Structure 1
């Protein structure tokens, strides 16, 4: 891959999301907002904006519905705003409960919300904050809503597209610390290890959180069902890197990290519109990607080399097991869709 990023083509005009229900987290700004707008332009019937700030979410909804293309192509779109704070497991469970009560079908779950920090902080549940938001809460939400996606997949009227869970990842996963860690050489549990302030690194925690997402997706894809029986049927789970985009994703970093990051964005960043196309592609172009795939530049791409080592495979399996156990402990419904 060169310094400058490959152009991302417009989404195919043949993509028609009529009748589909889509959830986008972190939808009030940035890539989440733009992806939501693009889903509406593709005629998604119901769009749920999952946001921390309800007022900002309502403003985003109003702006989307006022868009000239949406008004022309999708004037009857049902756009709902629901609160979701990934800092707090209780908020995740409450959000999932509302969705399960109010939504009959779910075709796309786009897990876009995330943060970048350069200091250690603990969540209310006692996990390191960046790992809580970028990985654990997203994993919990995906498990809680999995049965609804499976039910949707089984419905005869939705067979043209397999329902999809898309996690927004990052090429930063390639810079994870796992290949340099001795964690896999002993019996330490993974989640407590990464909640320990003595194990924290401001430089590797974000890459580690995105690498955890990638490993979780790879394992989850093995446990979401198939089409050859009477049990839960297939759901596609994938992980997409939107590339470097012209967003404010680094605003919470200290100035000495913001300066080089902002310079990098000025030189090579994709527009928010172009970056959002990669998210829409991953969530709707599932037939081209396969289950458990990591996509970059709209093509299936390799993970960090450590993911394919014997130690990396064992680590991913262990991470999956611990994460599911944690999720079921938080909310026993989290294990319902796993096969």
Structure 2
């Protein structure tokens, strides 16, 4: 049973070819848009690479960039086919390439859909990567003289000011690390000695945070040190001073930022998929309607369809073809092995 069969007079075939040509160029622009989205997302991820522990999330922009380029290529091909479709002398050379084109076009749609799914499925990996990366970034904040970590302080400070966040989970993460370099500590001071001796690892820990944690919206000058000591500051209660520092952790801020990007990119990618499916269906109708044209009467009506058989029959045919190809490959491998054994026997007998 033919699937979705339609009647195509000459005028309708001409309009289909013209409309498909415009649609294919729209799909080329959609491919360029997809590639641009991939480049933008890749750039944003690389910009925060110093606070990420792994690069698994990079698979999403990589897919978008690859699929964007492939989409532009296949739709340029589709546009050229539309130009030659109404000339019987020029269209036939394209016919052998149409079947691979259909397969590649479906693969593009699957890749785009997988990129959308992965952008949400990898949220847990993104959070874990940021958790470890930010923890290391805070730990190495003081290492401004260590090669490879010289810019870690600047990175963390800029991140906290730009995203209006503090620490990994919250500002208390800074209480657990020595974020002041030893070169800026006076070890002749009794206070410094007492703090270092009171810690098992010999670190200088304090209930303070870097300046980049200060909230400019606070009505009072920022308090960075002795944050848990209510007597150290006038009219101060650390449990109720919500405006003094940023309360949100940078991990949550980054996750919200990247998931916001994904939520914006997702509908755009779904729109690209719909455009690509429209090109695929239209080209299939154009292809089958032109194949049904009588060569002796090219202006006669013809029939176009999506599948020559039903969906179930088509899937069974594809399954049979794939099995035949696999069996053919196994037979070839078996023949090569038998040929090798025969060669060894002949060499031994000689």
Shorter chain as normaliser: what TM range?
Answer: under 0.3
Instruction: Compare relative contact order (CA 8 Å, sep 6+) and give the higher one, 1 or 2.
Output: 2
Higher helix share: 2
Higher strand share: 1
TM-score (norm 2): 0.22
In our comparison, the structure showing a higher alpha carbon Rg is 2
